[in-house]
Amino acid sequence: MSLFPSRKIGIDLGSTNTLIYIYRKGIVLREPSLVAVRPNQAEVIAYGKEAKELVGRTSEKIELIHPIQSGVIHHFSLTKQMLAHFIQKSTHRKMTRPEVVISVPSNISKVERRAVIDALREIGINRAMLVDVPVAAIIGAGVDISEPLGHMVVDIGGGTTDIGTFSFGEMIERMTIPVGGVRMNQLIQAYVRVEHQLVISDEASERLKLEIGNANYTKSDAKDQLTIQGRHATLGTPKEVTIRSQLVANALSEAIDQIIVAIRQVLQRTSPELSADIMNEGIILTGGGALLKRLPERLKEALGVDFHLADQAMDCVAIGAGRLLESFDDEARRIERMNR
């Protein structure tokens, strides 16, 4: 028996966050893709925001797990339970015969796609369509990909960056790399540890990225700084340090360079005709990572193409999945043809 009433649901199942879009309502849920469990008892004690509040504040008896890593299901059972919890939380009641559109990285294997479908079926969802992240992202950004004109999107999510080129309703080229917001935070943590002998939390590295992070550092940014707390790397004692924006920019530059290489590789595989269209139209940026200060300018300097930050960039994948719900059957057949 299905757990959930007849309703159409779009899901952006990300490595960092999960967003749920309800048809004709919009985005109704935004939660961290995180589960807190007691490993000895195989008991889930918290999901999403409640689980995040426990980060760094529990004993070893409680483990915090990201079931989705780099866009791939790493823990099938916890993914299934987390999805069921989030869907019930977003709908506030049980549903029957739901129709679901869920985003997945464009490079995952058929086995990994089947794992997503199996997870949905085990929680009572029998009508589901998987859509590649670039497809959902560019539709959510409001681009009409059905026209015979080249378009390109770069979605910088938590665990991956997904890139796609489109024309006449098809995704022509695609690439996914395991670089996103999580990798950016890891690099910031590593740089802070080396420079200041300070171990900082994921939350602290995220603050540094959002508040003083910069994709295109200039001398005028030298005054930007932020004081954070952490643990001394060797003494283990609490420590407070003021971090300058140049250190954060240097850390972020490693991840940005990898994204630039990936975009260049996709462009190199693109036909001259579509390349001309993309040069004229520019490249759409979506995803939370796209909000990094001066990222469009840095990418344009490296690649010679204009980059445009989409409206509601952080929500484009969920919005795109939601828009696909409006023509579920027709789009399911079209997406299936695109994935052949």
Beta carbons within 10 angstroms of residue 273's beta carbon: 12
Distance CA 137, CA 76 (A): 25
To the question of whether residue 124 is assigned a binding role by annotation, the answer is: no
To the question of whether residue 164 is assigned a binding role by annotation, the answer is: no
Q: Which helix (H) or strand (E) holds 240?
A: strand 238-244
Name residue 309's beta-bridge partners: 285
To the question of whether residue 223 is assigned a binding role by annotation, the answer is: no
Q: How far is it between the farthest Cα atoms of the chain? A: 62
To the question of whether residue 207 is assigned a binding role by annotation, the answer is: yes
State CA 133 to chain mean position distance: 9
State CA 204 to chain mean position distance: 19
Which is nearest to 162 in space by CA: 150, 173, 170, 151? 173
To the question of whether residue 288 is assigned a binding role by annotation, the answer is: yes
To the question of whether residue 289 is assigned a binding role by annotation, the answer is: yes
Distance CA 210, CA 252 (A): 11
To the question of whether residue 149 is assigned a binding role by annotation, the answer is: no
To the question of whether residue 160 is assigned a binding role by annotation, the answer is: yes
To the question of whether residue 150 is assigned a binding role by annotation, the answer is: no
Q: Which helix (H) or strand (E) holds 275?
A: helix 272-281
Q: Which residues are annotated as a binding site for ATP?
A: 158-160, 206-209, 288-291
Q: Which residues are annotated as a binding site?
A: 158-160, 206-209, 288-291
